[in-house]
Chains A and B, each alone.
Chain A
Amino acid sequence: MNAPAYNFAYLDEQTKRMIRRAILKAIAIPGYQVPFASREMPMPYGWGTGGVQVTAAILGPDDTLKVIDQGSDDTTNAISIRKFFEKTAGVAATTSTLDATVIQTRHRIPEATLHAGQVLVYQVPIPEPLRFLEPRETETRRMHALGEYGLMHVKLYEDIARFGHIATAYAYPVKVNERYVMDPSPTPKFDNPKMDNCAALQLFGAGREKRIYAVPPYTKVVSLDFEDHPFSRYRFDAPCALCGSEDSYLDEIVTDDKGGRMFVCSDTDHCESRQAQGHRGTESAAPHKEARHG
């Protein structure tokens, strides 16, 4: 039998070269989706194969890798991807946002400000921001070529007419470097402002759709809006029940079947770091509150 043997970081060198070339073009043309010959990975399409291929193409033995899903290092798919790289590339893994050199993420941008030594790799399901307005690739490609984004503005405006607001809560479209309209991946729009003028390099990988795109550091990223309906962030108006954070994005935890719920940071590293610094919320394991709940 052809017993399988795999390369450093799984991908063969030819595949890495192809992906690396695509990454360089993506950086040179901010927000433009570069087609690449995405490979079948040992995890399913839609589960981060694009992000995994980008990470595999950039990762070296000196890197420290962090993988998050929904902001958390301990969600099953984040664990599975982190394990994959620990096994195939032998890299050091961390949960600390500050210590990581490469952060692969699904659906969140960490709360901590990213720095220049870091690369943020997003897993992207549908890279085309116009796809739900126009299903045809030939058409959307033409719109990007001409910078013709009227369709998107019409959609957003229809939302306003119908609901009084732009009814997009996540994967909220942005314009990069005043040229390309880009899908930020399904992050909550709360995270959009973090993409603007960010010190870290942001890379986006869509495996099934075979696209790579990028936002270079210190690049203008603007959420689409209208003068009379400016973009606004959304977070549930409450402090984190564990660390008391007033400005982090919150997960809603259903605590019982009688409508009980609490809100905690979605970014687990942010929350734990704050707790380690002594910040406390109403439900935290602080000594003086331990007796409150079982």
Chain B
Amino acid sequence: MTTIAELPAGFADKVLSAQTTFRSVMEAMARPGSVQRVIASVDTPPHLMRGTAAIALTLFDHDTPVWLDSMLAETTEVKMWLKFHSGAPVISDASVASFALVSEGAALPQLDCFAFGSNEYPDRSTTVILQVDSLMHGPQYELSGPGIDGRAILQASFKPNDLFERLAINVALFPRGIDVVLVADDAIVAIPRTTRCVGYGG
């Protein structure tokens, strides 16, 4: 059993690390498809990438129930780390989660198990943080929507392959919907519910 003293540390400087990480996430959300970097240094528990850990420390707390994919949920150290550093309740019911952490894209469940929010309160939705192989290399995805000047090209390699097809539910759901943050090590890309994939090149 891991003791608290043995848990990987959180941010070295809580205030400024959270601030810089937030600005990267905000920039990513404001400019979908653009690759932003997490610069804060953070020790990570097993299966969590640096970017994911930093986002968790920046945005999670007592008020944000978090859903974990099965690999994370089965890793005690991850749950202890989250509990100790953020205090966020880990829940098994994805439909009331503020955030979902998906360490391995193949394990992403059907999106309709998450919260979409309501038409009155579309903000009461789950933000999915999805770890991927690369946000530098791989097929090209052409994106459009608010935050994008015309078209943006995202070159990335991720599972599930049909992520953008699945995210197409956001079109019909809007203003309800799912916002996704893709993480590859310290790189992050956000795909908010307004972003559309309009082209694909292998």
Contact = CB atoms under 8 A, between A and B. Distances in A.
Are these two chains actual partners, yes or no? yes
Interface of A: 7-8, 13-14, 16-18, 20-30, 32, 34-35, 57-61, 116, 141-142, 144-146, 177, 179-180, 199, 201, 214-220
Given A8-B16, A32-B123, A27 B26 contact: yes
Given A28-B192, A28-B194, A61 B120 contact: no
A60 B20 contact: yes
Given A21-B64, A145-B118, A218-B148, A59 B19 contact: yes
B156 interface: no
Given A13-B15, A26-B123, A60-B19, 13 more contacts: A8-B15, A13-B14, A17-B60, A17-B61, A20-B22, A20-B58, A20-B59, A21-B59, A24-B59, A58-B22, A58-B26, A146-B119, A218-B146
9 contacts: A13-B18, A32-B175, A35-B121, A141-B120, A142-B120, A146-B119, A215-B146, A216-B146, A217-B147
Interface in B1-41: 14-16, 18-20, 22-23, 25-26, 29-31
Contacts of A60: 16, 19-20, 23
A144 B179 CA distance: 20
B50 interface: no
Contacts of A217: 30-31, 146-147, 149
Contact of A29 (B25, B122, B150): B122
Nearest to B98: A21
Given A179-B175, A217-B31, A22 B19 contact: no
Nearest to B18: A13
A216 B58 CA distance: 21
A29 B147 contact: no
A20 B18 CA distance: 10
B59 A218 contact: no
Contacts of B31: 116, 216-217
A173 B147 CA distance: 21
Provide the main secondary structure of the chain B interface.
loop
B119 A30 contact: no
Contacts of B147: 27, 216-219
B164 interface: no
Nearest to A61: B16
Q: Top 3 closest A-B pairs, CB basis?
A: A145-B119, A28-B192, A216-B147
A26 B147 CA distance: 12
A22 B123 contact: yes
A111 to B, nearest CB: 22
Interface of B: 14-16, 18-20, 22-23, 25-26, 29-31, 58-61, 63-64, 98, 118-123, 125, 127, 146-150, 174-175, 177, 179, 192-194
Contacts of A22: 123
B192 A27 contact: yes
Contacts of A28: 29, 177, 179, 192-194
B22 to A, nearest CB: 5
A22 B194 CA distance: 16
A112 to B, nearest CB: 19
Contacts of B175: 29, 32, 179-180
Nearest to A23: B26
B58 A17 contact: yes
B66 to A, nearest CB: 13
B169 to A, nearest CB: 15
A174 to B, nearest CB: 14
A177 to B, nearest CB: 5
B56 to A, nearest CB: 11
Contacts of B192: 27-28
A216 B120 contact: no
A177 B146 contact: yes
A34 B123 contact: yes
Contact of A25 (B18, B123, B174): B123
Nearest to A8: B15
Contacts of B60: 17
